[in-house]
Amino acid sequence: MNTRRTMLVANWKMNKTVVEAVGWLNTFYPQAAERAAQQELVEVAVCAPFTVLHPLYVALRRLNSKVKLGAQDVFWQERGAFTGEISAEMLQEFRTKYVICGHSERRVLLQESSEMVSRKCGAAVKAGITPILCVGESISVRRGGLLLQWLEAQLYESLAFWDNQETIVVAYEPVWAIGTGQSATAADAEQACGYIRQVLRERAGEMADHISILYGGGVTPENIGELLDCPNVDGALVGGASLDPDAFGKIVLAGCKEQPK
Ligand code: PEP
**173 is a catalytic site residue:** yes
- Residue 54: what are its φ and ψ, rounded to 5°? -65, -50
Q: Fold for 6-256, please state it.
A: TIM Barrel (3.20.20)
Active-site residue, selected from the candidate residues 43, 105, 137, 173: 173
Options 43, 103, 112, 137, the catalytic residue: 103
For residue 81, how far is its CA from the centre of ligand 1 (angstroms)? 32
Q: Where are the domains of the chain?
A: 6-256
| Separation between Cα atoms, residue 138 and residue 142, nearest integer Å | 6
Cα–Cα distances (Å) from 248 to 36, 132, 170, 224, in that order, read 12, 19, 20, 10
Active site (annotated) includes residue 103: yes
Atom 6, ligand 1: which residue's CA is nearest? 239
Q: What is the pLDDT along the chain (261 residues), one digit of tens a residue?
A: 457 889 999 999 999 999 999 999 999 988 787 777 777 789 999 999 999 999 999 999 998 889 999 999 999 999 999 999 999 999 999 999 999 999 999 999 999 999 999 999 999 999 999 999 999 999 999 999 999 999 999 999 999 999 988 999 999 999 999 988 889 999 999 999 999 999 999 999 999 999 999 999 999 999 999 999 999 999 999 999 999 999 999 999 999 987 767
Expressed in angstroms and rounded, the spacing between residue 234 Cα and the centre of ligand 1 is 16
- What atom of ligand 1 comes closest to residue 11's alpha carbon? 3
- Atom 1 of ligand 1, residue of closest alpha carbon: 239
